[in-house]
Structure 1
């Protein structure tokens, strides 16, 4: 599965060329975390994507399409991820368009390998 926002890779590559080189991946598969993982609508979450082959290229995170002829996503919109000091890609997003009492999927991918999508979940409380 390829993330919808991946055409933004070109812009991310330009930014990456001006950024300091980040640590190379250990060769392990990418893994993702969201914190906190139990939230309420409107709350901000912190996203992390570990083990990207070229973290300096950044990445993207997004929720599922809501549907009904809209481009809205749930529980988060398209969010850019940037390399942190340790090479982990990080970003923040606001929980939106999510129903209370559900567990929602968030998809993350490294710009260096946009076809390898990692899924994590967040629980939206009552």
Structure 2
């Protein structure tokens, strides 16, 4: 019974590992998006362009929109990181469950093996004593 439960727990651990990889990639993608937005914002800084009111107004509007987008993207990136950290905690707990079950099953196997060895030794001792008794007679 415990072996089948261990199998289920190991399967769950594998699923959590796959989900962890997916979340790690998502968090990385969100961070990359934030960096790209930051680069775009940096490229919009006033340079040696000739001053034109309409161009200045457009740049200001784009700058404002990009700043809002960057702020939102930074939040998304932080949320993805938090989700990844939470999931990694679950993965560690599941790993502990699996290792605990494996240790428990190994101990039970050792105890069963030792008990069998004792029974075998008792049988051998009984046979030896019976043989000894039959030789005396």
| Same fold at TM > 0.5 | no
The TM-score, its normalising length taken from structure 2, stands at 0.20
State TM-score, norm by structure 1: 0.21
- Greater relative contact order: 1 or 2 (C-alpha under 8 angstroms, separation 6 or more)? 2
Richer in strand (by share) = 1
Report which of the two has the higher share of helix.
Answer: 2
